[in-house]
Amino acid sequence: MKLKMEDNRKITKIVIGKEDELTDIVTGILDSQNERILVTFAEESDLLISPINLKVILETADERDKSIIAQIIKNPTGIRNAQLAGLTTIDNPSYPTEEMWEKEMLDRARRYNPLGKRVEKKEEVTETKEVVEPKNEFKDRINSALEKSRNNQEKEDDILITFDEDIEPLGSEEIPGDEQVNTKVHTKPVVQTGPILEKLKSILQKIKYPTKLKRLIPLLTISVFVLSLLVAFIYYNTVPFVKIRIYVEAKEVSIERTFQGDENIKSVDFENSKIPIKQEIVEKSRSTTITATGTAYRGEKAKGKVNIAYVKVGGCTGVSALNLQAGHVIVSSSSGQSFKLDAATTVDCNNISEAAVTAIEVGEEYNLSSGQHFTVQGFSSNEVYAMNSSGAFTGGSKEQYTVLSQADVNSGVEDLRKIAVEEGEQELKEKNGGWEVIVDSITSELVKSETKTDVNVGAEAKDVNLSIKTKSTATYFLKDGFDEGIANLLTTEAQQKNLFESDKNLELALGDDIEKTITVIESNKNGIKIKLVAKGSVKPKVDKENIVRELKEMSWEEGQEFLKKQVFSAKETEIVFQPQNFPTKLLHFPKRQGGILIEIKEVL
């Protein structure tokens, strides 16, 4: 079963299932690109039964120089075994805090450096009996020699003392209760023993020793001194730990390029700004039943007769007769209904002619009573007018019925068009095979000649069948190698602009959050032009292993100067030496594995 791994920008999370094996976890740790690993046991796992498995996980992380924390939820046995294995654990579903990662980092350093741990020892209380020696000349001479040695020390804090290899005879002097001893002590400033030997010597002088024990004092002193040097050597090489924090600032870079679309090439040509393209067309036919909602009327039109008068106040001399064509309109002065002349009519000046008329529309409202006045269209009512003085208009009637209106058709077409267009465009977006659609190039249209109904507009109807067809078109570009090319363009742009203002040829790393917009800016008989706008963030690559290698070969001062040049943001590199009370003159960069820890922190 393959492990579930989740990577964010700092932590790799490995989720362990029931069937995952130890080798799967080890592989996940080895494949992780992050310094921090969170191993989550969300389910029961046989790996938690024994601390041996957990110890292997911890050692694998240590070998890869990674900090690791186990997240064991609702499994007290697993937590106990993890603690036995020395693995840092949490028992809640939240991510570990920054303090926990800091603590794990120090614990890892101590695992590299077991002698750096502070071990508290109980003071051993030894009850000794004070030996009272008789005052004699031998003792005075020894004390005198030691006093001279103290007075000849060259430094205030250091004692320089050695014992000659031979003890020359001085003559015999008898000490009560002991053997005769022939002794002479020589002192000379040769070895710098420091404050440790000073304290040791002070303690030794305060104790009264038996004569036999005095013979061993030089040997014991040298042994203690050598042991102290050995401890100091081990402490110097195993305890120091240097933590370096390098701050890296990501900066934004953007590019804008125009490519000529070419249907005949097979790969993106960034040098000549050409890109492979193709076009796809999808047609969709849809049909439905719509309900007619238009209204129309049928019936009879009212008919009648009117008298048309033609009056000229100034007389009719030289005035021609009035000729009105069939269909000429007269309008009721009171109701506003219109009527048409059934036949052409001639009216002489200052005379009256009778004419038959028919209503323009059907309906009872055109049945006007007699005695109504009418105006003649196109003439002043003072000269030409009409009246149905001979009788009322009759015969008008109407009946309302439902017809298919153009509004009914338009509404049905729009509903079908939306469905068909959405399906067609979605189908275009899902086409791939190494090609990517340019979204803004997608267009859709209604094929008007394919819009059909089984009833004509205006015809009486109730339910009508409607069918349409749409055509959707899109342009695609070949995406193989395109994203890699954009990344190279962005990186090159950042280097050319020298975003980090460095005199070094920095190797830059491009972030994963690249934003790109691709649009068609021209599409005609000359071809298709595509515009690319892309932006992302870049930051310098920091080779931690190489920096550690360099520092191991440098003195403390050289290393500090070297690190001052490893600046990739406005925030300076931080260097922390532990333990803090280490002598300043002895500060150095440890050569052991894990003695130097480098943390790369991104400045937001």
Taking only the tens place, the pLDDT of each residue in 361-374 is 999 999 999 999 99
pLDDT in tens, 251-271: 888 989 899 998 889 888 888
Number of Cβ atoms within 10 Å of the Cβ of 562: 15
pLDDT in tens, 328-341: 999 999 989 999 99
Number of Cβ atoms within 10 Å of the Cβ of 389: 14
Q: Please indicate whether residue 586 or residue 217 has the higher confidence score (pLDDT).
A: 586
Average pLDDT of the residues in 33-49: 85
**Candidate from 8-17, 477-486, 589-598 with smallest mean pLDDT:** 8-17
Average pLDDT of the residues in 469-475: 94
Q: Please indicate whether residue 276 or residue 497 has the higher confidence score (pLDDT).
A: 276
Task: Give the amino acid at 35.
Answer: E
Residue 204's pLDDT is: 54
**Domains delineated in the chain:** 4-112 (3.30.750.24), 137-238 (no CATH), 240-267+488-604 (no CATH), 278-292+404-478 (3.30.110), 301-398 (2.40.30)
Facing residues of 464 across strands? 290
**Candidate from 127-131, 197-201, 378-382 with smallest mean pLDDT:** 127-131
Query: Which band of pLDDT confidence, cut at 50, 70 and 90, is reported for residue 5?
Result: low
pLDDT in tens, 64-93: 888 999 988 888 888 888 888 889 999 888
Task: Give the amino acid at 77.
Answer: T
What predicted TM-score, i.e. pTM, was given to this entire model? 0.46
Instruction: Name the nearest CA neighbour of 388 among 304, 302, 331.
Output: 304
Q: Burial code of 233-257, b = ≥16 C-beta within 10 A, e = fewer?
A: eeeeebbbbbbbebbbbbeebebee
Q: Please indicate whether residue 317 or residue 327 has the higher confidence score (pLDDT).
A: 327
Q: Which helix (H) or strand (E) holds 96?
A: none
Residue 125's pLDDT is: 37
Residue 551's pLDDT is: 92
- Inter-axis angle of helices 22-31 and 51-63, nearest 10: 20
Residue 328's pLDDT is: 96
- The CA angle 317-320-321, to the nearest 5 degrees, is 120
DSSP string of 4-54, one letter each residue: EEEE-SSEEEEEE-TT--HHHHHHHHHH--SSEEEEEE-S--GGGS-HHHH
**What is the distance between the alpha carbons of residues 540 and 568, in angstroms, rounded to a whole number?**
7
Residue 22's pLDDT is: 83
Residue 122's pLDDT is: 38
Is the pLDDT assigned to residue 141 strictly greater than 70? no
**What are the CB-based long-range contacts (under 8 Å, 24+) for 131-140?**
131/208, 131/209, 131/210, 132/208, 133/175, 133/208, 133/210, 133/211, 134/175, 134/176, 136/173, 136/175, 137/173, 138/173, 138/175, 138/181, 138/183
Instruction: Name the nearest CA neighbour of 35 among 594, 573, 511, 559.
Output: 594
Is the pLDDT assigned to residue 198 strictly greater than 80? no
Is it true that the peptide bond before 176 is cis, omega within 30 degrees of 0?
no
Percent share of the chain, pLDDT over 90? 34
Percent share of the chain, pLDDT over 70? 81
Residue 453's pLDDT is: 94
Residue 113's pLDDT is: 66
Residue 7's pLDDT is: 54
**What is the distance between the alpha carbons of residues 277 and 210, in angstroms, rounded to a whole number?**
103
